[in-house]
Amino acid sequence: MSRIAEIAAALAASVAAPTAGSACNAVSSDKAVTLSVEGALAFLERLTDEVVVTQAERIALRDALGRVLSEDIVSPVSVPPHDNSAMDGFAFDGALLPSAAADKAGTNDAQPDASLSLRIVGTALAGAAWRGPLAATDAVRIMTGAVMPAGLDTVVPQEFCQIEGGRISFSAKALRRGDNRRFAGEDLMQGQPALMRGERLSPAALGMVASLGLPMVPVVRRLRVAYFSTGDEILSLGEAPREGAVYDSNRYTLFGLLIRLGCEVIDLGLVRDDPIALSDTLRQAAREADAIITSGGVSMGAADHTRAVMERHGDIAFWNLAMRPGRPLAVGLIARVQNDFVEAPALLFGLPGNPVAAMVTFLVLVRPALLRMMGCHAAASAPLPLLRARSAGPIRKKPGRTEYQRGFVQPKASGLPEVRIAGNQGSGVLSSMVEANGFVVLHHEQGSVSAGDEVDVMMFDGLI
């Protein structure tokens, strides 16, 4: 039994009553079978478990944006390393506050409108701590981030104070003991994990690593993804137009999607509908990459040689997805041979040729699979989250498939944001994809939507 069939059988065994859309049907290589989006996601989650990249390297922090940690980062220091002031003001002993006396007495008496007068004895600057003798009613001028002087635990903001003759006075009503003080290790304690293996490094994560004083980070090597377009009707950029032909947009959208994801991309160009050329390109892709993405040639067309070539080189399943746009999809494993040594197979995704369909299937199905191959943990490789919005108008939809309609989401003064459908929804219309900032997700069993109804939206602004 092939590995594709084994995974499908395992998923089928976990489903009490398999249906036409369940993952157990995703085995046939003779003809495409219908599969729900949920079934496809479950299948790909099992399949990618076996092709996760594990090779690691250490790189400079400046080069690590979007990379995946290969091991936990344990904090070598506490952050912050000392108690410090959260704002510019004056540090003093909070035991002087009436609220502190009430707390000590165990009462809940209302705090009187008392005033404190304290002597200013010095200044603590960020990076220049103040040390000196202190009387009970002394205060130290302190800047944001400066170390709290020993024995002082509260900061009154400078705008609350009146300063005269080397003394400050302020109303104590708005303060409680410990206000405006940040504790050592409040962000991270020394010896605690700061970031976990499988975390994808965001700008905030880079800042956290820098706060630990670490110039280098351990990461998984970049995932190598080869991609090419297929079809005699496709024109390369710069070619003269001809009747019935269209320019190759898919390679450029895939390039952008893969670069945004942090992959090492290998552009293998445009391959004509020639079995020998397709076979050679597929073998080259398997030698050079961890994953292969093709666009076009996986439908049932008479001139689509890609299906037959894929089957000769690997273990492939062909699906008719119950989704719109993006019905035809091929998924499988392509054998990799290097110097007569058989390595782990490359994961293949054969996307539909229509430009929007290719982008939708990438964002919904391929992106989570590639993130898992990159070594991301479950939370970092999960499908994009769904948010709620109100539909600005009616949307027609029949139950039995999941639809991803391009929409533009904008905030409203109150309540949920509003989403309107963005232009022509044809699977070849990229202009509406440019206009949109998310998908209106109409689920498998969902029917038509009326204006004002709540719908799920998948935001993709910043991903494409």
- pLDDT tens column, 231-253: 888 999 999 999 988 999 999 99
Gap between the Cα atoms of 395 and 447, Å rounded: 9
pLDDT at residue number 26: 43
**69 and 192 belong to one structural domain:** yes
Instruction: Say which residues have a Cβ less than 8 Å from residue 238's Cβ, sequence separation at least 6.
Output: none
Asked whether residue 30 is domain-assigned, the answer is: yes
Gap between the Cα atoms of 220 and 263, Å rounded: 11
pLDDT at residue number 11: 82
C-alpha closest to that of 363 among 416, 318, 404: 404
Asked whether residue 14 is domain-assigned, the answer is: yes
Domain range for 134: 84-182
Check whether 23 has a pLDDT greater than 60.
Answer: no
**28 and 155 belong to one structural domain:** no
pLDDT at residue number 50: 81
| pLDDT tens digit sequence for 283-302 | 999 999 999 999 987 766 54
**310 and 411 belong to one structural domain:** no
**71 and 193 belong to one structural domain:** yes
250 within 8 A of 95, measured Cβ to Cβ = no
pLDDT at residue number 303: 52
Domain at 134, CATH number? 2.170.190.11
**213 and 72 belong to one structural domain:** yes
| pLDDT tens digit sequence for 441-455 | 999 999 999 999 999
Gap between the Cα atoms of 266 and 201, Å rounded: 23
Gap between the Cα atoms of 360 and 429, Å rounded: 12
C-alpha closest to that of 53 among 223, 289, 273: 223
Check whether 424 has a pLDDT greater than 90.
Answer: no
C-alpha closest to that of 356 among 242, 456, 294, 433: 433
Domain at 352, CATH number? 3.40.980.10
Span 41-48, average pLDDT: 94
- The DSSP secondary structure of 400-453, one letter per residue, reads SSEEEEEEEEE--SSSS-EEEE-S---TT-HHHHHH-SEEEEE-TT---B-TT-
pLDDT at residue number 392: 95
**163 and 103 belong to one structural domain:** yes
Span 133-149, average pLDDT: 96
Residue ending a domain, among 202, 220, 238, is 220
pLDDT at residue number 24: 45
Asked whether residue 429 is domain-assigned, the answer is: yes
**176 and 146 belong to one structural domain:** yes
**117 and 212 belong to one structural domain:** no
**In the predicted model, what is the mean pLDDT of the chain?**
89
Check whether 109 has a pLDDT greater than 60.
Answer: no
Span 352-359, average pLDDT: 93
**270 and 329 belong to one structural domain:** yes
pLDDT at residue number 21: 45
**310 and 326 belong to one structural domain:** yes
**254 and 205 belong to one structural domain:** no
C-alpha closest to that of 321 among 251, 403, 396, 257: 403
C-alpha closest to that of 365 among 346, 386, 345, 384: 384
Asked whether residue 248 is domain-assigned, the answer is: yes
**134 and 279 belong to one structural domain:** no
Span 9-27, average pLDDT: 56
Asked whether residue 380 is domain-assigned, the answer is: no
**Phi and psi at residue 312, in whole multiples of 5°?**
-70, -25
Domain count, the chain: 4
